[in-house]
């Protein structure tokens, strides 16, 4: 068994657990409810979900997608979110060889997925998820830098200021196109990806703009009005995910196309 496969197998259960938490965050954060208490309950009958029925993916399958108490169908969105987060964790484990990069990037991408779903549904990026992240991720970056884990705290700060500041400027010039939630999300992306290298931040910004432009065109073709608000957070997140997995390759290809 190769080291990469072993890392992936270790990462998968962590990803599923984080995914289970993110299903709670997706439901509660827009409603400004606590992410920690009370314990999860069936939205139909109010019965508290037992530990044995709260195992990521497995419990949903064993219960055949229904509440044990009342039999009401449980949305497949829950296990799909857990699977998606697990897949992101495995992908990060296969992409990065350094443990500190895995510890930083895997939950970061899971968070981006959750924020994208929330922003798409409710057109908000909740502070109760972003603010704690702007505290927690710098701690991980500093610890990884001190431990020689390949993370760069100085570049993380530059990334935060560059990407967050750039989106802030756009939000000031065009307040209807960008919100402060997008600014804070861009700052978080710049912080985390900047710790890997500033080329990651540049690619995230470029891909975010590209995805956003394509998304706006598709929305207009699909019948959305020009004045209809389109959440930009999912496109920022998609750009960050593309950069996390393919940042150096995309940057290199772009420079080659310019003859540099």
Give me 186's structure tokens: 């861009």
Inter-residue contact 82 to 20 (CB < 8 Å): yes
CA distance 219 to 213: 10
At 224, the pLDDT band (50, 70, 90 cuts) reads: low
CA distance 17 to 85: 9
From residue 140, how far is each of 55, 104, 137 by CA, in Å? 27, 7, 5
Q: What are 18-35's pLDDT values in tens digits?
A: 999 999 999 999 999 998
CA distance 86 to 20: 10
Inter-residue contact 196 to 141 (CB < 8 Å): no
At 254, the pLDDT band (50, 70, 90 cuts) reads: confident
pLDDT of residue 153 exceeding 90, the answer is: yes
Closest by Cα among 237, 230, 193, 190 to 213: 230
- Angle at CA 179, nearest 5°, toward 197 and 101? 25
What is the dihedral angle through the alpha carbons of 181, 182, 183, 187, rounded to the nearest 10 degrees? 100
Give me 130's structure tokens: 């972003």
Looking up tokens 């931040």 gives 201
Give me the DSSP letters along 28-74.
HGGGT--SSSS--B-TTT-PBPPGGG-STTHHHHHTTTB-TTT-PBP
Closest by Cα among 30, 34, 35, 32 to 122: 30
pLDDT of residue 225 exceeding 60, the answer is: no
Answer left, alpha or beta for residue 57, where phi above 0 means left and psi between -120 and 50 means alpha: left
Q: What are 49-93's pLDDT values in tens digits?
A: 888 888 999 999 998 888 888 888 988 999 999 999 999 999 999
Q: What are 187-208's pLDDT values in tens digits?
A: 999 999 999 999 999 999 999 9
């Amino acid at each position: 068994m190769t080291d990469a496969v072993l890392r992936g197998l270790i990462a998968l259960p962590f990803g599923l657990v984080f995914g289970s938490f993110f299903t709670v965050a997706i439901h509660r954060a827009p409603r400004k409810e606590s992410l920690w208490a009370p314990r999860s309950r069936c939205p139909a009958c109010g019965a508290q979900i037992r530990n044995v029925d709260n195992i990521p993916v497995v419990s949903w399958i064993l219960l055949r997608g229904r509440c044990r108490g009342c039999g009401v169908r449980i949305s497949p969105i829950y296990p799909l979110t857990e699977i998606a987060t697990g897949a992101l964790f495995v992908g990060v484990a296969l992409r990065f060889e350094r443990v500190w990069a895995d510890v930083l990037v895997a939950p970061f991408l899971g968070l981006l997925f959750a924020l994208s779903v929330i922003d798409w549904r409710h057109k908000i990026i909740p502070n109760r998820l972003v603010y704690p992240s702007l505290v927690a991720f710098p701690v991980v970056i500093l610890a990884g830098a001190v431990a020689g884990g390949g993370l760069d705290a100085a570049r993380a700060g530059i990334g935060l200021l560059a990407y967050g500041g750039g989106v802030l400027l756009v939000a000031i010039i065009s307040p209807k196109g960008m919100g402060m939630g997008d600014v804070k999300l861009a700052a978080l992306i710049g912080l985390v990806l900047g710790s890997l290298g500033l080329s990651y931040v540049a690619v995230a910004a470029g891909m975010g703009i590209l995805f956003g432009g394509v998304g706006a065109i598709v929305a207009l073709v699909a019948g959305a009005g020009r004045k209809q608000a389109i959440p930009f957070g999912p496109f920022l997140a998609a750009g960050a995910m593309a950069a996390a997995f393919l940042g150096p390759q995309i940057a290199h290809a772009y420079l080659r196309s310019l003859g540099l």
